[in-house]
Structure 1
Amino acid sequence: MSTLVLALVAGAVVGLTLGGLGGGGSMLTVPALIYLLGFTPAHAGTAALLIVAVTSLTGLFAHARAGRVRWRTGLLFAAAGLPVAAAAGALSARLPPGLLTVAFAVLAALAAWRMLAQARTPEDGARPADTPRTPADTARHHRGPGPDDTTATPTAGGGPARSAAAGAGLGAVTGLLGVGGGFLAVPALVSVLAFTMAEAVGTSLLVISANSLAALVPRLGSTGALDWAVVAPFTAAAVLGAWDGKRLAERFSGRTLRTVFAAALIAVAALMLVDALV
């Protein structure tokens, strides 16, 4: 199979994941670039940040049109991670490729475990895609962000400090490993800020876009030139896939999507650990 076809297929899968789950696309982008398209871990991380940033912005636009983005809260959440993402992005260029590969594999395994655990429990205040809206849901959907956008009532144990810590941790992961961190942002927005799952998915794309761009800047001058013959078609396919991913999220429950994605992450983690340790 040609490099172009591989880039298009991998990009489409990444876009579907980002559009459907509000994150997780970079967990597939990095290994796809390394094992299918021959990138080094450092170049894969840089290219993944670019691909995920562009794709997330596209998905963000689609979710914003549907009224699923809490703009002010999302920007505040992202702001806590921006400086950390930039610093971690600069640090990543100085770390051994093998260490980055192992760290990524461990992170992928933890993300899969978390998603499988979530799939066995009720959806944190969210509805499956096939459940009708209640009148209150419909009113909230059409109202859009209101004065309470920045002051959503947190669940027990939540608060500004925890929210800032979650944003900073997300920025560190984004900068260091080249992942957007949506698989961390979505549960944090649900548990810390009491978002519905639909709002968390849409708002996470705002957080991912900001963190990815912040982490990308310090990497651009340190990892060398990217192979645009691969990156460009990969990104284009991911952008188109993100639009279909939004429709996928409306058709299937979040539980089903998380279970399928978790299985893919387990396979990715096993592959990367074997490659790094054997």
Structure 2
Amino acid sequence: MFALADLVAVGAGGLVGLTLGLIGGGGSILAVPLLIYVVGIASPHVAIGTSAVAVAANALAGVVLHARAKTVKWPCAVVFAAAGVVGAFAGARLGKAIDGELLLALFGLVMIAVGLSMLRSGARDGNPDVRLDLASARALLPSLTGYGFAVGALSGFFGIGGGFLIVPGLINATAMPILNAVGSSLVSVAAFGAATAASYAASGLVDWHVAALVLAGGVAGAFAGTLLARRLAARKAVLVRLFAGVVILVGLYVSARGIAVFV
């Protein structure tokens, strides 16, 4: 029989999967504080490693669903992900060397900055016909690889999927519509999460029982989020602003908890 803590972990996974499927990111940035403050994982490093496993698997489920809906720009997504994996390994190695409470404080500050950025960015219509091919490679490859490496490094450092950065990164690099950026971003979220998870798992910093529970909830959440993303695409800006507010509030809480340790 499931214990209450197990049900909480499944619920946390559902929230992560829902937001990943809905806006291509954000669920992963909530995964670490959810695992620490709701599920009850004591070690920030174990929370980061566990969240990376669950986020990678949940994002992979989202990729399948978005691919079926034909909202993934595959060449752009693969190049961005490949550059980001290199950055993710470097970031994860650095993140494990930093004190856990300091890492949490920095993580909270990043959440606040990202939330404010989401509020400012709004939504764009984009160019649905954009594609990476021989003709467009000279214009698109530098931006895709540059954004990919930078976002991957942040993803590995903080143990997050990075979708909240990948979506605007893909839009800025290619001018694709936000719905395509959401679907395409999940390829990188899965790749970055897998790279970070492998690094933390090698150091014994993954709670596999909790990861499995979060994954179980996340698959259902990803399915619901993908359906909502297609139906509510016209109201995406409202959804992003609402979620940005949640990210900022959680970031304030996490950074305050982390900073309090040093005061």
TM-score scaled by length of structure 1: 0.85
In the alignment, structure 1 residue 267 sits paired with structure 2 residue 246:
no
In the alignment, structure 1 residue 125 sits paired with structure 2 residue 147:
no
Cα deviation, 1:8-27, whole Å, max 9, x if unaligned, reads 22111111100000111111
Indicate if the aligned counterparts of 1:163 and 1:192 stay in contact, CA closer than 8 A.
Answer: yes
4+ aligned runs moved over 4 Å, structure 1: 151-154
Deviates more, 1:219-228 or 1:34-43: 219-228
- Distance in 1, matches of 2:33 and 2:108, equals 9
Indicate if the aligned counterparts of 1:19 and 1:241 stay in contact, CA closer than 8 A.
Answer: yes
The offset of 1:160, in angstroms, is: 3.0
Tell me which residue corresponds to 2:259. 277
In the alignment, structure 1 residue 89 sits paired with structure 2 residue 82:
no
Q: Given the alignment, which residue of 20, 26, 29 partners 1:27?
A: 29
Indicate if the aligned counterparts of 1:153 and 1:194 stay in contact, CA closer than 8 A.
Answer: no
In the alignment, structure 1 residue 171 sits paired with structure 2 residue 142:
no
In structure 2, do the counterparts of structure 1 residues 247 and 57 end up closer, same or farther at CA, with 3 Å as the change threshold? same
In the alignment, structure 1 residue 12 sits paired with structure 2 residue 14:
yes
Tell me which residue corresponds to 1:58. 61
Indicate if the aligned counterparts of 1:118 and 1:255 stay in contact, CA closer than 8 A.
Answer: no
- Distance in 2, matches of 1:11 and 1:216, equals 16
Q: Secondary structure at the match of 1:149?
A: coil
Gaps of 5+ in 1: 127-135
The offset of 1:224, in angstroms, is: 3.6
The alignment's C-alpha RMSD in Å is 2.1
Indicate if the aligned counterparts of 1:152 and 1:194 stay in contact, CA closer than 8 A.
Answer: no
- Distance in 1, matches of 2:213 and 2:174, equals 37
Indicate if the aligned counterparts of 2:44 and 2:100 stay in contact, CA closer than 8 A.
Answer: yes
Q: Given the alignment, which residue of 229, 235, 241 partners 1:249?
A: 229
Residues matched between the structures, number = 254
The offset of 1:100, in angstroms, is: 0.8
In structure 2, do the counterparts of structure 1 residues 51 and 106 end up closer, same or farther at CA, with 3 Å as the change threshold? same
In the alignment, structure 1 residue 115 sits paired with structure 2 residue 109:
no
The offset of 1:77, in angstroms, is: 1.1
TM-score scaled by length of structure 2: 0.90
Pairing of 1:212-223 with structure 2 (within 5 A): 212-223=193-204
Indicate if the aligned counterparts of 1:54 and 1:235 stay in contact, CA closer than 8 A.
Answer: yes
The offset of 1:196, in angstroms, is: 1.2
Pairing of 1:132-147 with structure 2 (within 5 A): none
Q: Given the alignment, which residue of 199, 217, 225 partners 1:237?
A: 217
Indicate if the aligned counterparts of 2:56 and 2:189 stay in contact, CA closer than 8 A.
Answer: yes
In structure 2, do the counterparts of structure 1 residues 197 and 153 end up closer, same or farther at CA, with 3 Å as the change threshold? farther
The offset of 1:187, in angstroms, is: 0.7
Tell me which residue corresponds to 1:130. none
% of aligned pairs identical?
33
